[in-house]
Amino acid sequence: MAELKRLSESRDLTRIERIGAHSHIRGLGLDSSLEARDASEGMVGQLPARRAAGLILQLIRQGKIAGRAVLLAGQPGTGKTALAMGIAKSLGAETPFASVAASELFSLDLSKTEALTQAFRRAIGVRIKEEAEIIEGEVVEISIDRPLSAAGGNSAAASGATLPGKTGRLTLKTTDMETVYELGGKMIEALGKEKVQSGDVIALDKASGKVTKLGRSIGRSRDYDAVGPHTKFVKCPEGELQKRKEVVHCVTLHEIDVINSRTQGFLALFTGDTGEIRSEVREQIDTKVAEWRE
């Protein structure tokens, strides 16, 4: 009887998200010599087309086809959108990609020209760099003091009296120092949204109050026997807690258009009710972006 051997195969645990016809695509599936693999990164078949898309990808990265367009022609269902999605995924998350179906161009609210213009400007990104004061360190302890209601349960709420807001203290450390910060209600809420806990490495923007979780400290990696696939371990920061850093914001021209098109333009980004955007607004934005580039 032939001896049975058990083959052990280790794979990275990746989160599976299937929200569309092309949500499984992670790239073009090419090797280092731009040869297409049979099945890789969610792409199967169309080997010559994928190799050609890889050549286009190299030209894009080298900046040799800036200001030009690439037309992918073929029968329905041959993988044109899949190739475009593969190029977009290979370029990275910071490169904006806008997918438009033909039915989206027909609307009673927007003309076809306006719909196409918005689609083009959603696919054009702007990187804005600025100097910001950042507090970066490992969380040692978070203590929050919640106010107690007056005697009698809800008597304070019934009488219309306002209770004092939540306060707290945040202890951050680097390899060189440790500091305790007083927290207000908004900062406590921001830390709660990011689910910050002891052992996390975070960055606080002093100007905007934005909280960014950078990862989990390597020194606390043995706190749990098992962690999720998206848990990232980073080193404890060095030097001073407060430092000046160059922060890069990636926005699209369409987002700038919407914010400047009306008084409540920022809210329109979330509702999707952008409406017609005047050409004068776009011209002013294009002029300003050209000044920033210079």
| 74-130 tens-digit pLDDT | 888 888 888 988 998 888 888 888 888 888 888 877 888 888 888 889 888 888 888
| DSSP bridge partners of 125 | 252
Whichever domain contains 223, its CATH number is 2.40.50.360
Task: Find the CATH number of the domain harbouring 45.
Answer: 3.40.50.300
User: What tokens appear for 12 in the block?
Assistant: 């990275």
Higher pLDDT, 108 or 197: 197
Q: Judge whether 242 lies within some domain.
A: yes
Same domain, 190 and 89: no
Say what the alpha-carbon torsion angle 19, 21, 23, 27 is, to the nearest 10 degrees.
180
Please tell me which residue, 268 or 190, carries the higher pLDDT value: 190
Q: 263 pLDDT exceeds 80?
A: no
Assess if residue 264 is contained within a domain. no
The answer to whether the predicted template modeling score (pTM) of the entire model surpasses 0.85 is no
Average pLDDT over residues 189-212: 86
**Domain containing residue 79:** 19-95
pLDDT, mean of residues 50-64: 89
User: Which of 9-18, 31-40, 204-213, 269-278 has the least mean pLDDT?
Assistant: 9-18
Q: Across the strands, what pairs with 205?
A: 134
Does residue 61 belong to any structural domain of this protein?
yes
Q: Is the pLDDT of residue 20 over 50?
A: yes
37 domain-assigned = yes
Q: How far apart are CA 160 and CA 155, in angstroms?
A: 9
Strand 200-205 to strand 178-183: parallel, antiparallel, or no bridges (unpaired)? unpaired
Residues 135 and 243 in one domain: yes
- What is the distance of C-alpha 73 from the center of its chain? 31
Residue 27 sits in the same domain as residue 82: yes
Percent of the chain residues past pLDDT 70, beyond the cut: 81
Sign of CA dihedral 83, 85, 88, 89: negative
Average pLDDT (211-227) is 79
The answer on 137 and 74 residing in a single domain is no
151 pLDDT higher than 60? no
Q: Of 208, 229, 247, which residue sits at a domain end?
A: 247
Query: Which DSSP symbol is given to 11?
Result: -
Residue 45, CB-side half-sphere exposure with 13 Å CA sphere: 5
Same domain flag for 23 and 90: yes
The count of domains in the chain is 2
In a domain, 240, yes or no: yes
Across 9-17, average pLDDT: 48
In terms of Cβ atoms closer than 10 Å to its own Cβ (0-12, 13-18, 19+), residue 224 is exposed
Pairing of strands 211-217, 200-205: antiparallel
Which secondary structure element, helix H or strand E, spans residue 169, and what is its range? strand 167-173
Predicted local distance difference test score (pLDDT) of residue 105: 84
Q: Do residues 141 and 218 both lie within one domain? A: yes
46 located within any domain: yes
Residue 173 contacts residue 284 (beta carbons within 8 Å): no
Same domain, yes or no: 141 and 226? yes
- Is residue 274 in a domain? no
pLDDT at 268: 56
pLDDT at res. 39: 85
pLDDT of residue 267: 57
pLDDT recorded at residue 9: 44
Pairwise CA distance, residues 66 & 193, whole Å = 40
**Which residue matches tokens 């040692």?**
140
> Distance (Å, rounded) from C-alpha 52 to C-alpha 25?
17
Mean pLDDT of 198-215: 86
Shared domain for 139 and 222, answered yes or no, is yes
Crossing angle, helix 80-91 and helix 47-62, to 10 degrees? 40
With bands split at pLDDT 50, 70 and 90, how would you rate the model's confidence at 163? very low
pLDDT attached to residue 191: 87
Q: Are residues 173 and 89 part of one domain? A: no
Per the domain annotation, does 254 fall within a domain?
A: no
Average pLDDT of every residue of the chain: 79
